[in-house]
Amino acid sequence: MSQQQRMKVNIESVENLPDLKVISKKVFPDNRGYFVETYNETEWAEQLNFKEIFKQDNHSFSIYGVLRGLHSQPGMGKLVSVISGEIFDVAVDVRPESPTYGKWHGIILSGTNHLSFWIPDGFAHGFQCLSADGAHVTYKCTDVYNSETEYGIDPLDKDIAVKWPICLSADGAHVTYKCTDVYNSETEYGIDPLDKDIAVKWPIVNKMILSDRDKNHKSFSKYRLK
């Protein structure tokens, strides 16, 4: 069997941020469903000379529109995957001496594309749930969680300027309607705006959901001054 046939993953560097890696996994489907090998120590060592050890696994569930991040845990790298649903996953270079300091990359991870995103130490991480039924996200981490060293950055920081798929203007929007008839509740009806048959590609939604903690993170520029 050739090396290419044996390999079950393909690992590619992100352009302009080569320390970030996108992992494509081989899917083995049959009449029962499918099987995917999500991590293989031997293949990672051969393709990346990867010598780190994963010490903690995490699993989160987020409903539609939730934005988690941006979080950084010094000393921790993360391998992020999605079991079901879809997210926009983002990594930001927060290494002060890096030539790409403050740059970010985002990628769609889903339960159907079977991609994973390797985010090494020195990057802040965050994601936004894009799927109507929510998303189950897993992380393999190279260190255990430490609340004393973790810090956060405002996910809407203007210096970083992540282009989140679901977002509102900071001050909201005032909309007016001029109508050709008066309102009649007896004839009005509604349609699910997320109806899958219609499949409207909404650029924004009317609500971004953030935890209180994520709302109060400091700006990126505040950390730059340290």
220, pLDDT greater than 70 = no
The whole-number average pLDDT for the span 62-73 is: 93
pLDDT at residue number 141 = 97
The string of pLDDT tens digits covering residues 182-209 is 988 888 777 766 667 767 665 554 455 6
222, pLDDT greater than 80 = no
131, pLDDT greater than 70 = yes
**CB atoms closer than 10 angstroms to residue 15:** 8
Order of strands across the sheet that contains 135-141: 9-14, 17-25, 115-119, 78-84, 135-141, 56-62
The whole-number average pLDDT for the span 130-136 is: 93
Query: How many angstroms separate the CA atoms of 130 and 140, rounded?
Result: 22
Phi, psi at residue 151, to the nearest 5°?
A: -145, 165
For the chain, what is the mean pLDDT? Answer: 85
**Percent of the chain topping pLDDT 70:** 79
Domains of the chain: 3-173+195-216 (2.60.120.10)
**E strands in 111-168:** 115-119, 123-129, 135-141, 151-152
Question: Which one of 105, 136, 139, 217 is the catalytic residue?
Answer: 139
Q: Enumerate residues 6+ apart whose C-beta is below 8 A from 155.
A: 67, 69, 70, 126, 162, 164, 210, 214, 217
| Amino acid letter, residue 28 | F
pLDDT at residue number 205 = 47
- Which residues make beta-bridge pairs with 223? none
Express the helix, strand and coil content of the chain in percent, nearest 5 each: 10, 35, 55
The string of pLDDT tens digits covering residues 82-113 is 999 999 999 999 999 999 999 999 999 999 99
pLDDT at residue number 15 = 94
**Whether 189 is catalytic:** no
The string of pLDDT tens digits covering residues 145-168 is 999 999 999 999 999 999 998 865
The string of pLDDT tens digits covering residues 11-41 is 899 999 999 999 998 899 999 999 988 888 8
Query: How many angstroms separate the CA atoms of 143 and 121, rounded?
Result: 10
Query: How many angstroms separate the CA atoms of 38 and 121, rounded?
Result: 21
**Whether 125 is catalytic:** no
